[in-house]
């Protein structure tokens, strides 16, 4: 296992894999991880091969922002969260603008910023037991990582509003039915199916696939996403240091500790998250 939280693996069949590799923390986004993600996305984008595969090690895809890193920073909170969001947003935009097909494999939890990261793929495969939850407003925060830009375009404004405001959980099958993901597959097949899809695309008619992707994407959408990501970062950073958000995050983390103590087990090692 690499000591880096994110790394790039180049396969001989033309698949360029971007892999989240911090499973003990649920692949949560603190500043070092967000910066590593930005760097890995840039590296993959510089030479994307025939297809890019985004997937994660461990039981969770990405639980979002590391609340333990966000809570208790006082006046520094806003600047820290803005730095995390800005680095993660650079990665999201880079992956969105990669000219070759991007395939995402989602297993376990995709929460907060993990939602935007998962949905940036052109083809998104989810395990049937995968769980998608925005979770931001429950912490007194607003979404980031492109969630409020991507969701309305995928599922429509009405359902996007429902998911953002209520934070309800979608399993893999329901996410497929609602159009959030391309398809749901059996849990033990998601990695193989995602890799096989990426390999088939990498071995396909490269120029035609790139041109088809350009046709499917509004030429101005990349710039629109960039402006939207800047606004998301500004809003979540402004709220993160507020008394309400800090209290909600602290209460949430304390409840998780109590749950672990009450069950006779140690508190979960992976940080609960929203961003």
Six-digit token pair at 241? 């240091």
**Residues in contact with 12: Cβ distance below 8 Å, sequence separation at least 6, in sequence order:** none
What confidence score (pLDDT) does residue 270 get?
Answer: 44
Q: What is the CATH number of the domain that holds 157?
A: 3.90.226.10
Residue 268 inside a domain? The answer is no
Residue 196 inside a domain? The answer is yes
Residue 269 inside a domain? The answer is no
Buried b / exposed e along 198-228 (16+ C-beta atoms within 10 A)? bbebbeeebeebbeeeeeeeeeeeeeebbeb
173-227 pLDDT tens trace: 999 999 999 999 999 999 999 999 999 999 999 999 999 998 887 655 555 888 8
Q: Which domain holds residue 10?
A: 6-262
Q: Report the domain count for the chain.
A: 1
What span, in angstroms and rounded, lies between the C-alpha atoms of 94 and 91? 5
Residue 32 inside a domain? The answer is yes
What residues are labeled active site? 89, 144
What span, in angstroms and rounded, lies between the C-alpha atoms of 28 and 23? 9
| Nearest alpha carbon to residue 184 among 105, 96, 115 | 105
Say if residue 14's pLDDT is above 50.
yes
Residue 180 inside a domain? The answer is yes
**260 or 153, greater pLDDT:** 153
Say if residue 79's pLDDT is above 90.
yes
């Amino acid at each position: 296992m690499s000591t880096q939280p994110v790394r790039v693996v180049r396969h001989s069949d033309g698949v360029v894999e971007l892999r989240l590799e911090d499973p003990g923390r649920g692949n949560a986004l603190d500043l070092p991880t967000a910066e590593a993600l930005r760097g890995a996305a840039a590296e993959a984008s510089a030479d994307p091969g025939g297809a890019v595969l985004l997937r994660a090690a461990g039981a969770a895809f990405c639980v979002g922002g590391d609340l333990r890193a966000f809570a208790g920073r006082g006046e520094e909170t806003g600047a820290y969260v803005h730095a995390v969001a800005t680095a993660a947003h650079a990665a999201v935009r880079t992956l969105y603008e990669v000219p070759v097909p991007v395939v995402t494999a989602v297993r376990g939890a995709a929460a907060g910023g993990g939602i935007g990261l998962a949905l940036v793929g052109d083809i998104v495969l989810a395990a049937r037991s995968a769980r998608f939850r925005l979770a931001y407003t429950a912490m007194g925060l607003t979404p980031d990582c492109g969630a409020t830009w991507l969701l309305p375009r995928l599922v429509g404004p009405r359902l996007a509003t429902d998911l953002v405001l209520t934070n309800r959980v979608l399993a893999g099958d329901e996410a497929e039915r609602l159009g959030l993901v391309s398809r749901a597959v059996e849990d033990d097949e998601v990695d193989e199916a995602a890799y096989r899809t990426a390999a088939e695309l990498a071995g396909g008619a490269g120029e035609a696939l790139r041109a088809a992707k350009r046709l499917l994407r509004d030429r101005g959408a990349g710039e629109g996403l960039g402006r939207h990501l800047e606004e998301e970062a500004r809003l979540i950073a402004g709220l993160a240091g507020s008394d309400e958000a800090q209290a909600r995050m602290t209460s949430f983390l304390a409840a998780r500790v109590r749950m672990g103590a009450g069950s006779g087990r140690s508190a979960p090692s992976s940080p609960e998250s929203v961003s």
